Amino acid sequence: MKGFILLALAVFAALQTVESVCNQCRTMKWVSCEGNEPACTCKITLGDNDRPSINCDKLVSKCFLMKAEMYRRRMGQDVRQSIGGKPHEDAIMDNDGIYDPDCEGDGKFRAKQCNNTEECWCVNSAGVRRSDKGDKNINCSKLVETYMIRLELTHKELDSNNKVTVQALENSVKDLLQTRYQVDRALVKQVQYDPDGRYIVIDIEKEKGERLTNLGNMAYYMEKDLKVSPLFTNQTKVQLNGGSQKLDLNKIVVYYVDEERPTITMQHLTGGIIAVIVVVVLVVVLGLLALFFINRKRQQRYSKTQQRELSNM
Ligand SMILES: *[C@@H]1O[C@H](CO)[C@@H](O)[C@H](O)[C@H]1NC(C)=O
């Protein structure tokens, strides 16, 4: 009996040690950890000699994630390519796609980014460009914080007769934000739903000046969840609860609102507007010309018939 207990204890102890070896990083599937619990060291590879430690209990910073992804692309490692209305007149979108960012030691974006080129621009705390592109002397005096984001999601079709209850949806959104993305549910300011477009609009806003929550990291994890595949080691897909049915999400658009207005000028837009104006003017001129010629033809025919009538008389 005594021997059995000892054996059981030994097996238990062995299991314990097996379990306490660190190997996986919960919040980043490309990272493996070394050592034994609770003293695990988890390092993310950003470059050949650039492997900072990260805390795998928290979401990894977007700057590190983007840099790691660019490194993996250069190394030819598997990274799959990815694919509203504005919540605020100053809201900006990430239309530039991924670049190789410069990060601070703690994972924050440097305010100025150049993607290893001579062309540089200023970004917000979510790494999204908020200035025009300039040369490498461009002045980005500080990193401007994103304090509000709007997520526009689309869900797949429901089974017939099922309907989404907005209250259930809102609770489910808050749970998801809190449990999966570590964002306080109190920061969800509004959840709107459009059943026809199967559209879910989520506004998340923190106090200006709050520096604990990083909305950029949260939005990046969510974008990857919906567009590519989860960054988490556990690959379970994101679902929301619509009341009578779970909702599979398939599209996401993110708007970023910063504590200061972006300084992007409307250059590209102006080009578009000029093109539209030119087309409109051309159509109007052609229309007037057509009218003019039709009228003249009619008048000619009229005067000819008049002449014929006169000569007949
Ligand atoms: C950054 O550079 C990479 C490769 O050099 C390129 O594929 C990517 O489009 C660039 N991104 C931006 C935002 O300029």
Q: How far apart are CA 204 and CA 147, in angstroms?
A: 8
99 Cα to the center of ligand 1, angstroms = 5
Q: What is the pLDDT of residues 266-287, one digit of tens each?
A: 655 566 777 788 888 889 999 9
Query: Is residue 288 helix, strand or coil?
Result: helix
268 Cα to the center of ligand 1, angstroms = 19
Higher pLDDT, 105 or 279: 105
CA-proximal residue: ligand 1, atom 6 (nearest)? 99
Q: Are 103 and 63 contacting, i.e. CB atoms less than 8 angstroms apart?
A: yes
Closest ligand 1 atom to 100 CA: 1
Long-range contacts of 35-44 (CB under 8 A, 24+ apart): 44/68
Question: What pLDDT was estimated at residue 280?
Answer: 87
Q: Roughly how many angstroms between the first and final C-alpha of the chain, as a whole number?
A: 139
What is the best residue among 74, 75, 98, 113 to mutate for testing ligand 1's pocket, by most ligand atoms within 8 Å of CB?
A: 98
Q: How far apart are CA 45 and CA 43, in angstroms?
A: 6
60 Cα to the center of ligand 1, angstroms = 22
119 Cα to the center of ligand 1, angstroms = 11
Element (H, E) at 284: helix 267-312
Query: Is residue 141 helix, strand or coil?
Result: coil
Element (H, E) at 309: helix 267-312
Percentage of the chain exceeding pLDDT 70: 85
Ligand 1 pocket residues where CB is under 6 Å: 96-97, 99-100, 115
Q: How far apart are CA 102 and CA 122, in angstroms?
A: 12
pTM of the model: 0.77
The edge-to-edge listing of strands for the beta sheet with 239-241 is 188-194, 199-205, 146-155, 246-258, 239-241
CA 49-78-58 angle, to 5 degrees, is 65
Residues ≥6 apart with Cβ < 8 Å to 194: 201
Question: What pLDDT was estimated at residue 39?
Answer: 84
Q: Check whether the bond before 38 is cis (ω within 30° of 0).
A: yes
Q: Which of 30, 200, 218, 54 is nearest to 125 (CA)?
A: 218
CA-proximal residue: ligand 1, atom 12 (nearest)? 99
Q: Tell me the angle at which helices 215-227 and 62-74 cross, rounded to the nearest 10 degrees.
A: 40
Percentage of the chain exceeding pLDDT 90: 67
What is the best residue among 92, 99, 122 to mutate for testing ligand 1's pocket, by most ligand atoms within 8 Å of CB?
A: 99
Higher pLDDT, 86 or 206: 206
Q: What is the pLDDT of residues 204-243, one digit of tens each?
A: 999 999 999 999 999 999 999 999 999 999 999 999 999 9
Q: How far apart are CA 69 and CA 53, in angstroms?
A: 16
